[in-house]
């Protein structure tokens, strides 16, 4: 499957909330033609209405790809609507957390090509990262095309085993919330030290965003970046002595948090 086949046979997007909108916007900025896209969304935005895509109209019987972008709790209602398209050449992609390849194949047909993907919320600003894995029926060309489609909202990684998805959920899926909480608590700490709340929040936001951009763009190991800004006996060293404490700092806290998220992901997938 390639882009020309996708445009010829059609792409179905089931659900167009924040993540679906981000994906669709990226596709339409690329080489996906609006007239090839069929969107099912009960509460369409004004932007969606003006894109030129087929909106809430009858779906093609044999689309090249179906992207399922509804919430996990809605999958029970969504999958039966799509079952008639299964078992053929249509590739299905699910971005619903906790819904495994086996459950998707049970609903869509044992021989159906199915890809499971886990994007994260920075996709809304084109800075997300998505992990994906396909079942044995997904052709390599189809997996490559789906990677390219998901790259419209950020980076992609292909997993070797579906069991890795729980760790992905805990690191990058839930990870933005950890960073938001860091900004929140860093700003609050600045207020405690005498800064006005608005200024403290501005400093915290810009510091975290800038450090993240530097870590991504510099190519240096984050440990080396930390060393680069830490003068012996200086202010950063004093703070890191607290944050890097083996019993109470990040080395103890973050593994516990990630493990909790991964365990919950496993529970939700059962």
Fold of the CATH domain 173-268: ProC C-terminal domain-like fold (1.10.3730)
Residue-wise pLDDT tens digits, 138-152: 999 999 999 999 999
Residue-wise pLDDT tens digits, 19-31: 999 999 999 998 8
96-100, 127-131, 259-263: the lowest-pLDDT one: 96-100
Whether the CB-CB separation of 97 and 75 falls below 8 Å is answered with: no
- Of the pLDDT bands very low, low, confident and very high (cuts 50, 70, 90), residue 74 is confident
Domain ranges in the chain are: 3-165, 173-268
Residues 80 and 71: their CA atoms lie apart, in Å, by 15
Whether the CB-CB separation of 183 and 205 falls below 8 Å is answered with: yes
pLDDT beyond 80 at 270? no
Domain spanning 3-165, CATH architecture = 3-Layer(aba) Sandwich (3.40)
Cα–Cα distances in angstroms (integers) from residue 148 to residues 30, 52, 110, 143, 153, in the given order:
10, 22, 26, 9, 10
Residues 95 and 176: their CA atoms lie apart, in Å, by 17
Other CB atoms within 10 A of residue 190 CB: 19
As a whole number, mean pLDDT of residues 211-238 equals 96
**Centroid of chain to Cα 1:** 23
Residues 15 and 75: their CA atoms lie apart, in Å, by 11
């Amino acid at each position: 499957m390639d882009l020309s086949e996708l445009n010829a046979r059609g792409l179905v997007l089931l659900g167009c909330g924040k993540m679906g909108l981000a994906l669709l916007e990226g596709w339409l900025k690329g080489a996906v033609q609006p007239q090839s896209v069929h969107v099912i969304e009960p509460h369409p935005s004004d932007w969606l209405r003006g894109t030129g895509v087929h909106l809430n109209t009858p779906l093609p019987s044999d689309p090249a790809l179906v992207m399922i972008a509804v919430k996990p709790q809605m999958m029970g209602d969504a999958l039966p609507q799509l079952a008639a398209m299964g078992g053929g050449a249509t590739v299905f992609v699910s971005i619903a957390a906790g819904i495994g390849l086996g459950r998707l194949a049970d609903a869509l047909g044992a021989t159906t090509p199915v890809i499971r993907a886990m994007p994260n919320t920075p996709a809304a600003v084109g800075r997300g990262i998505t992990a994906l894995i396909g079942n044995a029926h997904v052709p390599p060309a189809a997996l490559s095309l789906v990677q390219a489609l998901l790259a419209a909202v950020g980076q992609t990684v292909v997993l070797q085993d579906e069991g890795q998805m729980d760790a992905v959920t805990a690191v990058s899926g839930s990870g933005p919330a950890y960073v938001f909480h860091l900004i929140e608590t860093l700003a609050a700490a600045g207020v405690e030290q005498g800064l006005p709340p608005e200024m403290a929040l501005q400093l915290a936001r810009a510091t975290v965003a800038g450090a993240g951009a530097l870590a991504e763009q510099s190519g240096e190991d984050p440990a080396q970046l930390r060393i680069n800004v830490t003068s012996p006996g200086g202010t950063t060293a004093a703070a890191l002595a607290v944050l890097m404490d083996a019993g109470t700092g990040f080395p103890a806290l973050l593994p516990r948090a990630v493990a909790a998220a991964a365990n919950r992901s496993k529970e939700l997938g059962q």
